Structure 1
Amino acid sequence: MNPEQPEEPGKPAPPTQRGTPVGRRVLLGTIGLGALGVVTAPTLQRALEGFLGAAAGKDPTGLTGLLPNGGGFRYYSVTTSVPHKDASNYRLTVGGLVDRPKTYSLDDLRALPQTRLVKDVQCVTGWRVPDTPFEGVRLSDLLDAAGVRSGAGAVHFTCFDGAYTESLTLDQARRSDVLVALRMQDKEIGHAHGGPVRLYVAPMYFYKSAKWLSGITVTEHVERGYWEHRGYDVDAWVGKSNGRDDDPTS
């Protein structure tokens, strides 16, 4: 997924501009993070994120571990490195089949009406983080502001890691529980969790909630995302896709 994307069922993907996309496999053990305890210093946090990213680049399965003080989230990425963005250089573009293309800064997004949702986060590989708060702008509000043209049927998402993509149908994208999220767990979304801005698709497995969101493009048809090209379902409803019969959030 982004750090929360499912493992690739086949070989690692070819290199991209940002780094080498890697598959990933959930490892039940961590890489010694338990001995570190709760890490709070920002510099140490960033150093640890860099260590995890470097480790993933050396292991074609996509080495993973628990994020320090991450509340059960695991760190995954489909590339070996991801640039850091903040309010000074973050931009989100909305374009494609729209009448009013727009580019938003982080401050622009913060100034828009915010919606708060508290839902379970469910990864397709099995781990789950219950009752997780997300806050952000409803995707439908950004689409309305852009003026979606007749004939549009889907929305395609790109990310500033340079490799990850996702898509939703237009009807799915207009749901009230789909956010362009700026906050998670009642704080700003950190880099390891896909910040400063990520997609949050509450009713679907977490690989649909693209991290490091940088582009929203309205299209005529659904364009398969990174993991859909590698065998995962386009419609990733929790409990109803990817061969899973159970609904752990019910």
Structure 2
Amino acid sequence: MTVDDPKYQPGEPPAPPADAIISPDTRRDNRIPPGQSRTPKWPVLDAFGTPRLPPADRWKLKIFGLVERPYDLSLAEFQALPRVKVFADFHCVTRWSRLSNVWEGVSTRYLLERAGILPQAKYVVCHGYDNGWTTNLPLSDFLAEDALLTDLHDGQPIAPDHGGPVRGMVPQLYAWKSAKWICGIELLPHDQAGYWERGGYHMRGDPWVEERFRDD
């Protein structure tokens, strides 16, 4: 990525668009969490490299687990749902932060309310197309107002290297909780470690208290 790349952010971070949901962390006096440094770039990091993804007409998102009405969405059906924009910062556990991102897609609240959340559901496991990769989150974090499944970043389609065509985005947690290449959302009654969590990463991942690694 170079200074000619439209994703490069020199100088002061951009202001939020008028029609966006504002992530609360962007309102802090100091927007850089402990141990982080701002980057003007958008680095590419993942566990296995970019997977082979299905063509657009075969892409599918599955909502299942502890819901009243499990359902699947095609990419066209996903993109036809009511949309939101979210203005948020993005914090990677590897210690970089990219400020003032504009994500556009479908609210996680909308997706799960459409399915009907059962009372015993307390946690979410997000499934990715990359070799069965998963990550876990408390349901309350996944339902935050600024959480969404996103297919646009700063007005452009999300490239496969960054998790497109659709990725999760939970801005108030470290970025590994925002599942790239998402293909499934599963609701569970108990916490269930995902790929990085089984390797020692924190079960929640709050960047403001440096929940990088598990201590159990």
The answer to whether TM tops 0.5 is yes
Alignment partners' CA distance in 1, 2:45 and 2:212: 22
Alignment partners' CA distance in 2, 1:38 and 1:174: 33
Unaligned runs of 5+ in 2: 7-38
Q: 1:227 aligns to what SS in structure 2?
A: helix
What's the counterpart of residue 126 of structure 1?
95
Asked if structure 1 preserves the Cα contact closer than 8 Å seen for 2:158 and 2:165, the reply is: yes
Deviation at 1:86, TM superposition (A): 4.2
Deviation at 1:108, TM superposition (A): 0.9
Q: 1:103 aligns to what SS in structure 2?
A: strand
Deviation at 1:76, TM superposition (A): 2.1
% identity of equivalent residues: 31
2:121 to 145, 152, 164: 152
Asked if structure 2 preserves the Cα contact closer than 8 Å seen for 1:79 and 1:163, the reply is: no
What's the counterpart of residue 197 of structure 1?
166
Which residues in structure 2 correspond to 1:18-167 (within 5 Å)? 72-80=41-49, 82-167=51-136
Larger Rg: 1
Say whether 1:180 aligns with 2:141.
no
Asked if structure 1 preserves the Cα contact closer than 8 Å seen for 2:201 and 2:212, the reply is: no
Q: 1:145 aligns to what SS in structure 2?
A: helix
Alignment partners' CA distance in 1, 2:49 and 2:173: 26
Deviation at 1:71, TM superposition (A): 5.5
Asked if structure 1 preserves the Cα contact closer than 8 Å seen for 2:126 and 2:136, the reply is: yes
Q: Which runs of 4+ in 1 moved over 2 A?
A: 84-87, 241-244
Please report the TM-score for the alignment, with normalisation by the length of structure 2: 0.77
Please report the TM-score for the alignment, with normalisation by the length of structure 1: 0.67
CA spacing shift, 1:243–1:146, aligned 2, 3 Å: closer
CA spacing shift, 1:195–1:71, aligned 2, 3 Å: farther
| Amino acid paired to 1:84 | L
Q: 1:156 aligns to what SS in structure 2?
A: strand
What's the counterpart of residue 189 of structure 2?
220
Asked if structure 2 preserves the Cα contact closer than 8 Å seen for 1:189 and 1:196, the reply is: yes
Alignment partners' CA distance in 2, 1:79 and 1:204: 21
Unaligned runs of 5+ in 1: 1-32, 40-69, 245-250
What's the counterpart of residue 238 of structure 1?
207
